[in-house]
Structures are given as C-alpha cells and as structure tokens.
C-alpha cells in the first residue's frame, strides 16, 4: 500500500520549482547530486541507524560511535569516494566522532603551519588514517586567551629534542575532541622556550599512544573529561584531558612552516610569512558558518513541517481546526528563522570564495586584506552560531510539548550544537575583536587609508552619518538600496559613536573595558550588514528555475526586515530611521509572511534532508506524525515490562501502608 503524504496539499501550493531550489541550496548541480546520492546511501545502511541513540549508556554510545566511524571509513574505501563525497558521508552519519577533529583540525593545522618536509611526512599517514590526530590547544585554565597557555616545550640542545611538560594543574590540556580515547597523535600548542627565552605559543606534533597496543606512551596521562550536556548529542565524542611529564620529541616535530629552532637552539623566522596561518583560521571558521546553516535549516525543517501538521483551535461548525502554521504569531517566530537558514547558507558559500581568495593573496605575499578578513570571519562565526543555537531552542518551543520529546530530534540537536558558541573562539570575545577592528578603522578614516572588502562602506561614513531614510510607504522597504543604506548607516553610526566615546578615556584599554558592551553591539550591526549584503549579492546572480529567484527575494526581505524589527532600538536611536518608518517595516514584514506561507513546506523540502538525517518524528517528510509518535513511545526501555522494576520494593509498600518507620 502506498504511504500517505500528509504534506501533499501543502506541496501543491508551491509557487516555485523545488528541484531548482535544491540546486541553489546545494551550491551547484554537481554538489546537489553528490549530496543526494550520499544521503540516500547513509540512510539505507542499517549500521548508521540512530533511532535509539539517546537511550544508550555512555559506554554503549561510544562503542556505537566507533563502529559507525570504522564502517564509514570502510565504505569510503570500498566505494572509492572523493574527498568531497567522504566529507558528505561523515556529515550525514550525523554523530560527533574523532574523525571530525582529525580531518577538520589536525590535518588543516599541519597543512597550514607545517614545512613542506613535514607535510610530505605526516599528511599521507593522516589521510590514510594510519595515524589519528587531534588538536590540543585548550587547557583547563585557558581557552580564549591562547597566549596564556601554560604547557611548555623546552628545547634541549644536548639531545636535539623538545621537552613537552605540563607544569601546573591548569596547564592540563582539556576538551580536545578525539583525545580522550582514540587519537594516536596531537598537534599540541605550547610555549616554546629556547636558551631561557620564551618565544610564545607554537604547535608541535606529539605522539600520544602506541601504534601497537594503543597504550599511552611514557610521561603521558590521558583520559576522557566526562559526560556533557544532553542525551546522546556530543557524548559520542571523547573530549579529553592530557598531562605531559617531561615528554621528549625530536626537534623536527615542531611545526616549522613559519618559524623554527636550529640545531644550535637559535629561534628563526622562516621565509614563509607568519600570516599564512590565517588561511587555516579562515578555513575552519568557514566550515563553522556552513555548519550553522545546516543545523538551523534542520531545526526549521522540523518545526515548519510539524507546524503544518499540528492543528489547534479555530474549528468552524465541526470542521478541522486551524493549522498552527497559519497563526501569525507562529509565522512571526518561524519564518525569520527559515529566512536566516538561507541567509547563513549564502554567506557560508561566500566564505568559501573568501578562503580561496585569501589563500591566493597570501601565496602572493599580499596581506592587505588580512585585518578585514580576520574581523569578518570572527564576527560571522559569532553571530551565526549564536543565532543558530537560539533558533534551535525556538524551534523546539514552536513544536509545543512534543518538541520536548527526544523523538522530536530537537533536544539532541540543541545539545550537540550549542558548543559551537564556545569552541574556536568564544562568541563574545570574537565580537570584541571585531569591535576593536571597527574602532581602528574609524580612527584611520582621515589618513587616506581606504577601507576594503566588507568594511568598504566605512569609507562613506560622513554620508552615512547624515543620510535620511526615504521610506514613506510600507512597500518602500522592498527597495534593495533602502535596506542596504539603513543597515550601513546603523553599523557606521554605532562604530563612530564607539570611537568617539573611546577618545574620552585617557587610557584606551580602560575605555575598551568600559565600552565593551557597546563594542559588541557595533560588531553585531557590522556582521548583520555583511549577511544581508551577501544575500542581496546572491540575488544579483543568474538564478534559474520557475519562481526560485522570487522566493529568495521574499526570504531576503524577511531576513533583513525581521532584523530591523528586532534591533529597532539601534536603528531609531542612531537616527537611521524614524519610529514611523520602523512601524512601516513591520507592516511590510507581515505582508511578506503571507507570501512565504504557501511555499513554506517546499522551501524546507529544498534542503533535501532524508528522514534518517533529520532524526525527527515531527519532521517526517510524509507528515505522518501521530501514529509514529505513539509507536516510538512503546520502544522506550521503561515499557519493556508492564509492572516497573522496583514496584514490589518501593511502590507496593506505600500503597499497602507497609512502610517501616524508624523510631528516633
């Protein structure tokens, strides 16, 4: 019997070609075909099942993770998958695992900071998984402040070795994924000390475990740091603790791409510019922004589909109740998140281009765009991950009580995603870095130094500080130049205000400390402008497919105007717009929601996620929610017996009044 599609009527309402939108979402037809093929491959493989994951004990979960990682590697070899296909396969397996850090951090660290000789030695082994690596930077006492790391690497000229040591409790490496139980090697970040001089933090390749029996090598104490937030979720990852007790490594295991120690113990900068390490940073942050769009789109897909299935109130003459998705309050909360998923996708695609551009510039010794690129990637990592974490929780609430069930997929998705707000740079710390950059840019405006890239608008700061918004009617907010100028004026005026206030302090560092909240808000304004601008740039490309471009225009306007409404205080307080113009923006936003509504289900279908990947009863493609929820309930281990374990010992004595009361 053919399965019912409870979303069929919704899909018939669509005003665009969903297959073409899938290609736009994937980035290209080739990328779509690879993603679609690999997703189905994973979904059809019983080894990759995950429906009982949240019920497993920690040991069972970790063993299941190792099994899936080994099977994934086996399939990659058997099917001779390309690097792109292999990355997609690991993505759709959807379980945090040591290979995430091996391929995502360990290998890029060697590629970005190693010498040509080191790359030739270590990368082939790493790519073949003959060694498994992690990225050991964060310590028990230091995370964001990398320059405060305490682990030492002291050069011994007598033996031509570095001695890696953890001198204090707080110098223990803490958090590196894959470290706890699996990694054989690590790129360890430590203070380089030679001839009594501290040369700051550098990277070293250190073997941790025997390649024969996997036991820790002499001088190394290593283990897992324990359970983390949520059921399943990131508990599949062996985040580790690592202590060094005078561990010796050869001198040539210091990453020597940008600096090195000679045999005599002399510290030398290499011919390769130190700025090359920025390429790795841009790459890592680009992948984090891409992951934000994936996690957000997944949550939005679940919430949108369930909002179309769920009906509450509004029954007329015994007819069906109103679909929850038709309530304006639901649309007001949900549709900006849908628009954000697309916005983050496109800014993530742009960051891929930026990584290529930066790499080419660095190789040509062109460092002119580095400060802007550093600020841009730091800020985008911050705002996309913070917005996504908040949005996943909002999607859970949009699904009502059922969103709290593990089977909804949302609690585990939230638990597995929120670390992104902290790793690779705490989000507030990153915003403060962007804020400092903005203030510096403002201070250089009179010097003739022209702002470039995403900060180019600051070159028109004088105009932006005086311009007045031309909006007179709600539909005026649909004009691209009106939206862009409002966001540019807000960002420029907030940055200039910070710079002026900073100049009032005799000591600038005192000023930065006092104005840190203002600096963070200015950074958010700048980064939101970037996302809006990149969405608009996407619309200026040739986008094929019936109605596809029109839907993206609607989503772009929803994204921009929902941000304007959310941060209305910024726009009004800086004089960019009047309160009346803000009200007109909100009026236009309501009209845009009505245009999104008939296309909502198909817009999330365009993400092309399998039911396996979504891992949600509420987000099923066919919308057959209630029978499946009921079916899932009976799979819980508590329902293996009708009478619960412990009844005779604890419940029956209460019911029969047989509790023995101790006499004092």
Query: pLDDT digit string (tens) for 8-28?
Result: 999 999 999 999 999 999 999
Q: How far apart are CA 141 and CA 150, in angstroms?
A: 9
- State residue 449's pLDDT score: 83
SS3 category, 203 = strand
424 in active site:
yes
- State residue 284's pLDDT score: 87
CB burial of 354-369 (b: ≥16 within 10 Å; e: otherwise) equals: bbeebbebbeeeebeb
- State residue 6's pLDDT score: 86
- State residue 1's pLDDT score: 36
Which residue numbers in the chain have pLDDT < 70? 1-3, 271-274, 276, 662, 664
Nearest to 469 by CA among 583, 550, 592, 556: 583
Close Cβ partners of 19 (under 8 Å, ≥ 6 residues apart): 545
The three-point CA angle 431-433-439 to 5° equals 100
Q: How far apart are CA 499 and CA 495, in angstroms?
A: 6
The three-point CA angle 584-586-589 to 5° equals 115
The answer to whether the CB of 188 falls within 8 A of the CB of 134 is: no
SS3 category, 238 = coil
- State residue 448's pLDDT score: 81
Length of the chain: 664
**Phi, psi for 73 (deg, rounded to 5):** -65, -40
Mean pLDDT of the chain: 94
pTM over 0.85: yes
- State residue 542's pLDDT score: 92
- State residue 80's pLDDT score: 97
User: Among residues 424, 488, 521, 553, which one is catalytic?
Assistant: 424
């Amino acid at each position: 019997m053919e399965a019912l599609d409870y979303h069929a009527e919704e899909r018939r309402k669509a005003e665009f070609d969903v297959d073409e939108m899938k290609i736009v979402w994937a980035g290209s037809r080739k990328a779509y075909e690879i993603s679609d093929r690999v997703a189905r491959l994973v979904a059809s493989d019983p080894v990759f099942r995950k429906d009982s994951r949240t019920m497993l004990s920690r040991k069972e979960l970790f063993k299941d993770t190792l099994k899936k990682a080994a099977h994934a590697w086996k399939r990659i070899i058997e099917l001779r998958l390309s690097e792109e296909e292999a990355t997609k396969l690991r993505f759709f397996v959807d379980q945090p695992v040591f290979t995430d850090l091996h391929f995502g951090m360990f290998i890029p660290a060697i590629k970005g900071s190693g010498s040509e000789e080191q790359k030739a030695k270590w990368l082939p082994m790493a790519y073949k998984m003959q060694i498994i690596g992690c990225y050991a930077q964060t310590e028990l006492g230091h995370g964001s402040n990398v320059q405060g790391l305490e682990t030492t690497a002291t050069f011994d000229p007598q033996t031509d070795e570095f001695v890696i040591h953890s001198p204090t409790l707080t110098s223990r490496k803490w958090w590196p994924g894959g470290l706890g139980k699996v990694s054989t090697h690590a790129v360890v970040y430590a203070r380089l000390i030679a001839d009594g001089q501290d040369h700051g933090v550098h990277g070293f390749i250190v073997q941790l475990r025997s390649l024969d029996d996997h036991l820790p090598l002499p001088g190394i104490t290593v283990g897992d740091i324990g359970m983390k937030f949520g059921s399943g979720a990131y508990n599949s990852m062996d985040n580790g603790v690592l202590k060094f007790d005078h561990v010796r490594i050869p001198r040539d295991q210091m990453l020597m791409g940008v600096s090195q120690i000679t045999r005599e113990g002399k510290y030398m900068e290499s011919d390769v510019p130190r700025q090359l390490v920025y390429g790795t940073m841009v790459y890592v942050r680009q992948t984090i922004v891409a992951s934000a769009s994936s996690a957000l789109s997944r949550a939005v897909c679940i919430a949108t589909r369930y909002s179309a299935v769920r009906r509450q109130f509004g029954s007329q003459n015994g007819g069906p109740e109103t679909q929850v998705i038709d309530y304006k309050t639901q649309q007001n909360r949900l549709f900006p998140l849908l628009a954000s998923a697309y916005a983050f996708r496109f800014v993530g695609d742009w960051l891929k281009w930026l990584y290529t551009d930066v790499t080419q510039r660095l190789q040509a010794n062109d460092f002119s765009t580095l400060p802007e690129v550093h600020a841009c990637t730091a800020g985008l990592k911050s705002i996309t991950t913070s917005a996504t974490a908040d949005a996943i929780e909002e999607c859970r609430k949009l699904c009502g009580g059922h969103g709290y069930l593990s089977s909804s997929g949302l609690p585990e998705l939230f638990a597995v995603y929120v670390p992104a707000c902290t790793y690779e740079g705490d989000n507030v710390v990153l915003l403060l870095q962007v804020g400092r950059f903005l203030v510096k840019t403002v201070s250089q405006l009179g010097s003739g130094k022209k702002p470039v890239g995403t900060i180019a608008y600051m070159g028109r700061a004088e105009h932006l500080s005086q311009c007045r918004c031309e909006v007179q009617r709600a539909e005026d907010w649909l004009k691209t130049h009106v939206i862009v100028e409002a966001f540019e004026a807000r960002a420029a005026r907030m940055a200039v205000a910070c710079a002026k206030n900073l100049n009032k302090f005799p000591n600038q560092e005192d000023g930065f400390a006092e104005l840190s909240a203002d600096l963070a808000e200015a950074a958010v304004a700048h980064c939101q402008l970037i996302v809006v601008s990149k969405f608009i740039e996407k619309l200026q490309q040739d986008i094929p497919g019936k109605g596809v471009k029109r839907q993206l225009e609607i989503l772009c306007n929803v994204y921009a105007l929902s941000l304007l409404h959310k941060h209305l205080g910024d726009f009004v307080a800086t004089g960019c717009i009047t309160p009346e113009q803000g009200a007109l923006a909100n009026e236009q936003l309501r009209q845009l929601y009505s245009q999104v509504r008939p296309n909502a289900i198909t817009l999330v279908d365009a993400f092309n996620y399998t039911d396996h990947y979504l891992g949600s009863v509420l987000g099923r493609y066919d919308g057959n929610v209630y029978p499946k929820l009921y079916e899932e309930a009976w799979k819980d281990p508590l329902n293996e017996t009708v009478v619960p374990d412990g009844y005779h010992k604890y419940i029956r004595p209460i019911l029969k009044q047989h509790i023995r009361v101790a006499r004092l």
